Structure 1
């Protein structure tokens, strides 16, 4: 299945999913058919995501070890790491600040007709993953086997860094192992190609079950909030692309075009993780060397979540507006600083963005119960966040490659 054909199949699956979900909600809600449909058909999406997760751990480990082993000395690794984290911090700041500006400009929480939860209502969210000190400690694995079993990407990255540096220092003696790991990464990508044939079915299941469970009416109820957020996300896309174009010049839009398939997959499944293997494949086709891409991409999945960053600041201020709580500019800027730090600890936490938002609300005397306002539409918003995360990480990989002089000038066929 060609790239364009798969994209068309995914788009068609989304449209059919919306239609099927609407019909099931309309005619099966009272009889219980909708609930049965959701419980059984959602299995298809779960199977697809499980297959993708099955690939990620060995793929991240193999590609990163090969990249590090062939990157050179420790000073090269340190230089690439410094550039990578500098870019991530800068883009996180841009995403948070833009979210703050847009929510103040559009006022999506002012004058909305929504049932406001009581102040003491429980959100049911655990904020255990919010503790930054625990997150820093959690970065370092006690067992690489356990890390791989749980798909702890950041822990796999840390172990692969040590492993790759050690392998590189052994010179020719480790070359055979490095070649075998390189072959392992290509095998994983071959498996990805096979798994991706199942993507349209998973997309149909994901979209139809969400509509069948909630109906399209919920989109109307939260129309102002969702429209404001999607407009803000599109503006963030434009900003990220333009900033990247300062480095990549005219090739920026070629890369954006090449990323359309992983972005669409992340959007339709509401999972940026599902698009990781395809994103890696596309940035390498664009000309990014494997030794750079295999480092920047997995680290970006923990530290460069541009869409999630914007959502955190946007949703927190939206909740304040709904409860008619005025926040001074100084308080809002302080919230940005808090989110900049705490959001780096959300990787691997279920409903990660909601956890960070809930924890941040309590720090600024805002009602944590406000999170209940956005729970119902969080999946639809997560679609935009996931797609943005993929776009941001793909562009970041190309930018770092360009800075390192490791971007092939040859333009691959789309």
Structure 2
């Protein structure tokens, strides 16, 4: 057998897929082709001044359709993962311990992300020199976001976690509500003892079927990425970021510094490489890049974290919670965008005002958790509380928000992957051998998953080819 060759559970060598058959290559090629279509067939303005959708913009339903397909299964996948994970825990006290450690991690690094954005925005000052007149701002352009931000309060957010009915949490696809019900049901299943074992076996069988469904849906990922990226380039165009290139570039560089610097140190301290983790998640990251949505890769992230050695219970609790509370990319964006607007309008913020901005952002980022378009809405909520910077200033970055949302989603996604492995290690629920195998492509990379709910159909999607 060749050194480094992949082997199946029976010890037989597995033939490596050709490059064109690998999902990450297909998604990358789809993004490239979508960009070409969007660039050469863009939206235009007709003689009557009305916008005419180009071919790129018309492909938007492909991206929307794929994201809807994935969102369709997110609620049951989260429910099955959490319930079967908790049901396998003999000590219910460990559930609270995992959640406590997860939130300690989220609070620490979310705050650190806000501080990093604040520091770099002050050093680089991407908005300095634009000299925008506040009176020229189009407040109507961001009125909807401001209205949604006004509705997003901490108390309202906490109450919204409790669904109207058990069924409504699944029908509406609210991640936090599904998480709430899943934890309660998992605890109840443990407390009933032997009487709950038939239910657990049924849920494990359903889990196998649903993860097979995930494998089927992921085959459509290149089509979704193609349509979504063609729409982005076709509607907004690469040229739309030219005037605000300094902000976009600063944000991307800052996110890279946070991921490979700060999270890289965290990963190193916990015994794994951030670079190997990024390589391990390359298919999911390309999917997030193409669709500008980290939710599109949520089901695959749950599976890959388990395959990387994190226990099912930790994965089920940390990943869905992190999708609402561990938004590193969004936090970097918030402080950086707020300071950019102030700099562009020649508004000098004192250190006290900037610290106030940071504290408000810490609270508003939790209040808008789980809301579609949370990044822009959270920024509106923050600015509405800090009167020194007008909410109407958000109109300056409205046109480039789509390009920045891709970086936000990528950073959030990587941050949640790191958080899951770190919390699993803290809890003593991380299989180091499985982690090393997954990240280094060792010969056992396609070994059968330890969890019986992860079926054999998963391998074609999740193998790190």
Where 1:141 maps in the other structure, the secondary structure is coil
TM-score normalised by structure 1 residue count: 0.94
1:78-105 CA-partner distances (Å, limit 9, x unpaired) = 1111111000001101110001011111
SS in 2 for 1:25: coil
Confirm or deny that 1:127 pairs with 2:145.
no
Q: Is the 8 A contact 1:117 1:372 kept in 2?
A: no
Separation in 1 of the partners of 2:372 and 2:417? 23
Change (3 A) 1:330 1:168: same
2:408 pairs, out of 367, 370, 385, with 385
Secondary structure of residue in 2 paired with 1:324: coil
Give, in angstroms, the shift of residue 241 of structure 1. 2.7
Give the Å deviation of 1:378. Answer: 0.7
Aligned: 1:369 with 2:392: yes
The correspondence for 1:170, drawn from 188, 192, 199, is: 192
In structure 2, the partner of 1:234 is: 256
Q: Distance in 1 between matches of 2:191 and 2:269?
A: 32
Quote the residue 1:23 is aligned against: 40
| 1:278 lines up with 2:295 in the alignment | no
CA distance in structure 1 between the aligned counterparts of 2:137 and 2:237, rounded to whole angstroms = 27
Distance 1:72 1:243, change over 3 A: farther
Answer 1 or 2: which has greater helix percent. Answer: 1
Helix, strand or coil at the partner of 2:430:
coil
Alignment partner of 2:429 out of 397, 406, 412: 406
Tell me the residue number matched to 2:333: 311
- Whose radius of gyration is greater, 1 or 2? 2
Deviations 1:162-203 (A, max 9, x none): 110010111221112112212222222211111111111111
- Shift, 1:276, TM fit: 0.1
Alpha-carbon distance in 1 for matches of 2:17, 2:92? 40
Q: Does 1:42 align with 2:60?
A: yes
Q: Distance in 1 between matches of 2:17 and 2:66?
A: 19
- Taking the aligned partners of 1:138 and 1:248, their CA distance within structure 2 comes to 35
Residue 30 (structure 1) shift: 4.5
Match of 2:448 in 1: none
Cα separation, partners in 2 of 1:380 and 1:290, compared to 1, 3 Å:
same
Report the TM-score, using the length of structure 2 for normalisation: 0.84
Deviates more, 1:169-178 or 1:111-120: 111-120
> What SS does structure 2 have at the residue aligned with 1:109?
coil
| 1:296 partnered with 2:325 | no
Which 5+ residue runs of structure 1 have no aligned equivalent?
none
Give the CA deviation at 1:139: 1.3
How far did 1:215 drift? 2.0
2:73 corresponds, among 35, 55, 72, to: 55
Out of 246, 266, 280, the residue aligned to residue 288 of structure 2 is 266
Distance in 1, matches of 2:78 and 2:252, equals: 31
Does residue 100 of structure 1 match 2:115? no
Per-residue deviation, residues 132-181 of structure 1 (Å, max 9, x unmatched):
11001111222121111111110111111111001011122111211221
Instruction: Provide the rounded CA distance (Å) in 2 between the counterparts of 1:266 and 1:128.
Output: 29
* More deviation, 122-131/30-39: 30-39
8 Å contact kept, 1:62–1:182: yes
1:355-366 alignment runs, 5 A limit: 355-365=377-387, 366=389
The alignment of Structure 1 onto Structure 2 pairs a total of residues equal to: 413
Partner of 2:102: 84
